[in-house]
Structure 1
Amino acid sequence: MDPKIDSSAPISTGTTIIGVTYNGGVVLGADSRTSTGVYVANRASDKITQLTDNVYVCRSGSAADSQVVSDYVRYFLHQHTIQLGQPATVKVAANLIRLLSYSNKKMLQTGMIVGGWDKYEGGKIYGVPLGGTIIEQPFAIGGSGSSYLYGFFDQAWKEGMTKEEAEQLVVKAVSLAIARDGASGGVVRTVTINSEGVTKNFYPGDQLPLWYEELEPQNSLLDIQTEAVPMSI
């Protein structure tokens, strides 16, 4: 092990997760970079996890913590469905995550966004940030990239969006966070949930919108040709 690396130092985790409601369902989106400090441990991870056929969760913070919470909730919801004989609602799934997060708030370092559709309330988004609070919202953003997106959503969000508008908003927002946040990156994954079922989409990095001063994707850094300009002193 490199003696210059402090193994006891806190691990800085970063991501960008988004949940948006639209007229008929919800769209969840996330980047794919999993980092451990300054290292990228996985550049193509899937941060949108299925809980039931109609409910998914976006995970941020500690990958291990969010994965174990998702596993427990998936198990509890499976038992819940067997006992009731019908799928669990989005609210039930979100409250289970809230219960586990709050009961173990001193040990867990994770924030999650629960989204889905059920026949009672339609499409719903619930934010469960660090500490276990539960908040029902028309849209929710989380992770380190979210600090770059609050003003953007204040301007871009609107009621009654179509499915296509919500999908475009999520992809645009995640690409903006990737451009500005060093801990977010990779590809963009989205999951759309409505009365017709679930649709998953994948957007490679070279198909994302470019923002101010971003370079176009290149196969090699040697392909970037720039004219030499004398430096002024």
Structure 2
Amino acid sequence: MDRDATADVNAPHSMGTTIIGVTYNGGVILGADSRTSTGLYVANRASDKITQLTDNVYICRSGSAADSQIVSDYVRYFLHQHTIQLGQPATVKVAANLVRLLAYNNKNMLQTGIIVGGWDKYEGGKIYGIPLGGTILEQPFAIGGSGSSYLYGFFDQAWKEGMTKEEAEQLVVKAVSLAIARDGASGGVVRTVTINSEGVTRNFYPGDQLPLWHDEVEAHNSLLDILNASNPEPMST
């Protein structure tokens, strides 16, 4: 086997990824694709990159899967202790600052970008972007992962203040499907998590239900369907 190919197969599990967090009028919606890769090999085509920290706070993970998972585990543990001591749920800002603290203090060892989103009774729905290096940015929307480079212009045009929950959900699904179409490291299904005063709702969008973009081929059931579509008239002898 070629040496370069061997290096790719044995590379660490990473998430060439598209992750999104969007605020709307009443809460936040987080979204992500589901492709986890090891070099050029797709290790998991249906992974869940939206992880629960508390009842009201979730994170989207990108970069090294191992790094993002260990950060999630530590922050979940610290938030549990925090909740016991205070006797009430942690705010989104507290959760985001814990993620920021771990990411910044270990920036030479971690390769992960994270979006923290949630709802609390003090500030409502909040989104915080925490990219490589541990910077923390409160934003009305945040995008991350390899697919984000295809989405900045789209979000500048499509995002607006005061969106309804339905509008925000459609925006997230449309954006992730667009990144899947353009970014080879993003793929699979689309998962979303909606967090507001009423609680948390998870949604799942299979790949065959996502919108198609330019140059994408519509799914067919069999090779015969493809041949019939390209040659609708029977051949004459």
- The TM-score normalised by the length of structure 2 is 0.92
For residues 210-221 of structure 1, the aligned pairs below 5 Å read: 210-221=212-223
Note the residue ranges of structure 2 that are not aligned, 5 or more in a row.
233-237
Query: Structure 2: how far apart are the matches of 1:51 and 1:175?
Result: 26
Asked if 1 retains the 8 angstrom alpha-carbon contact of 2:101 and 2:134, the reply is yes
State how 1:98-117 maps to structure 2 within 5 Å: 98-117=100-119
Query: Counterpart of 2:55?
Result: 53
Distance 1:221 1:40, change over 3 A: farther
The aligned residue for residue 78 of structure 2 is: 76
Q: Deviations over 1:144-192 (max 9, x none)?
A: 0000000100110000000000000000000000000000000000000
Three-state SS of the structure 2 residue aligned to 1:7 is helix
Kindly indicate whether the alpha-carbon contact (under 8 Å) linking 2:15 and 2:35 is maintained by their aligned counterparts in 1.
no
- 2-structure distance, mates of 1:3, 1:23: 53
- Partner AA of 2:122 in structure 1: Y
Aligned-partner Cα distance in 2 for 1:124–1:3? 46
Provide closer, same or farther for how the CA distance between residues 16 and 221 of structure 1 changes in structure 2, counting only shifts above 3 A.
Answer: farther
Q: What amino acid is aligned across from residue 40 of structure 1 in structure 2?
A: V
Letter in 2 for 1:7: A
| Number of the residue aligned with 2:17 | 15
With 55-64 and 32-41 compared, the bigger mean Cα shift is at 32-41
Q: Which secondary structure does the structure 1 equivalent of 2:116 belong to?
A: strand
Q: CA RMSD in A?
A: 1.7
Number of residue equivalences: 228
2:5 corresponds in structure 1 to 5
Superposed CA deviations along residues 93-151 of structure 1, whole A, max 9, x for unmatched, are 00000000000000000000000000000000000000000000000000000000001
Please point out which of 101, 122, 125 is paired with 1:123: 125
Match of 1:201 in 2: 203
Q: For 2:98, give the aligned amino acid.
A: L
Residues 145, 222 of structure 1: CA spacing in aligned structure 2 closer, same or farther, 3 A cutoff? farther
- Contact 2:11–2:38 under 8 Å retained in 1: no
AA matched with 1:193: I
SS in 1 for 2:168: helix
The answer as to whether partners of 2:147 and 2:183 remain within 8 angstroms in 1 is yes
Task: Give the match for residue 43 of structure 1.
Answer: 45
Higher share in helix: 2
C-alpha separation in 1, matches of 2:223 and 2:190: 23
Give the TM-score, by structure 1 length.
Answer: 0.94
State the identity as a percent.
86
- Cα distance in 1, alignment partners of residues 207 and 3 from structure 2: 35
- Structure 1: 5+ residue stretches without partners: 229-233
Contact 1:13 1:37 in 2 (8 A): no
CA displacement at 1:224 relative to structure 2? 1.6
In structure 2, the partner of 1:188 is 190
